[in-house]
């Protein structure tokens, strides 16, 4: 699967707005997910595979792009 790459500013915003990243969908699919949360249900694929932005970054699910 293609690795999602986001700009640092975008990552900060996703963190601040508590967007959750779905490991299965490979995208940010859900709101109201704390940055250090795991196991939230994804509204798209309906699996408990949504993690917070911080966890996603630590896990290497997506990369911060240095390009702006």
Nearer residue to Zn ion within complex by CB, 32 or 66: 32
Q: Tell me how far, at minimum, the Cβ of 49 lies from Zn ion, in Å.
A: 6
Q: Tell me how far, at minimum, the Cβ of 35 lies from Zn ion, in Å.
A: 18
| DSSP symbols for 14-30 | HHHTT-EEETTTTEEEE
Which positions touch Zn ion (CB under 5 A)? 22, 24-25, 42, 44-45
Strands (E), 1-68: 4-7, 20-22, 27-30, 50-52, 62-65
Nearer residue to Zn ion within complex by CB, 3 or 68: 3
């Amino acid at each position: 699967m293609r690795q999602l790459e986001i700009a640092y500013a975008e990552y900060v915003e996703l963190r601040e707005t508590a967007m959750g990243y779905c490991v299965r969908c490979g995208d940010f699919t859900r709101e109201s997910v704390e940055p250090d949360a795991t196991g939230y249900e994804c509204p798209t694929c309906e699996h408990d595979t949504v993690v917070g932005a911080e966890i996603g970054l630590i896990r290497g699910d997506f990369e911060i792009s240095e390009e702006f």
